Amino acid sequence: MTTPILIDTHAHINFNEYDSDREEVMERAFNSGVGKILHSCCRINEIETLLKLSKQFNGNGFSDLYIAVGVHPTEFHSWDNESESEILAILDKELAQPDHKIRAIGETGLDYYHCTTGAEQEKQREIFNKQIELAKRFQLPLIIHTRDAESDTLNILEAHFKNTKSDRNGTIHCFTGSQDFALACIELGFFISWSGILTFKSSKSLREVAKVVPLEKTLVETDCPFLAPQAQRGKRNEPSYVNYVAEQLSEIKGLGKTEIMNITTQNAEYLFKI
What is the smallest separation between the CB atom of 198 and Ni ion, expressed in angstroms? 16
Residue 6: CB partners within 8 Å, gap ≥ 6?
32, 33, 34, 35, 220, 242, 243, 246, 261, 264, 265
The verdict on 14 binding Ni ion (CB under 5 A) reads: no
Q: How far apart are CA 246 and CA 220, in angstroms?
A: 7
What is the smallest separation between the CB atom of 107 and Ni ion, expressed in angstroms? 5
Contact pattern for Ni ion over residues 209 through 248, marking x by CB under 5 A: --------------x-------------------------
What is the smallest separation between the CB atom of 116 and Ni ion, expressed in angstroms? 20
Q: How far apart are CA 42 and CA 19, in angstroms?
A: 18
Number of Cβ within a 10 Å radius of residue 87? 22
Nearer to Ni ion, 38 or 51 (CB): 38
What is the smallest separation between the CB atom of 159 and Ni ion, expressed in angstroms? 24
Which residue stretch of 22-30, 34-42, 48-56, 60-68 sits at the interface with Ni ion (rule: CB under 5 A)?
34-42
Nearer to Ni ion, 195 or 243 (CB): 195
- Three-class DSSP category at 257: helix
Contact pattern for Ni ion over residues 46 through 75, marking x by CB under 5 A: ------------------------------
The verdict on 40 binding Ni ion (CB under 5 A) reads: yes
Binding footprint of Ni ion, residue count (CB under 5 A): 2
What is the smallest separation between the CB atom of 267 and Ni ion, expressed in angstroms? 19
What is the smallest separation between the CB atom of 2 and Ni ion, expressed in angstroms? 29
CA end-to-end distance (rounded Å), the chain: 20
CA atoms within 13 A on the CB side of 249: 31
Give Cα 234 to chain centroid, integer Å: 21
Please state, in angstroms and as integers, the Cα–Cα distance from residue 125 to each residue in 70, 112, 134, 135, 250, following that order: 14, 11, 14, 15, 36
Contacting positions for Ni ion (CB under 5 A): 40, 223
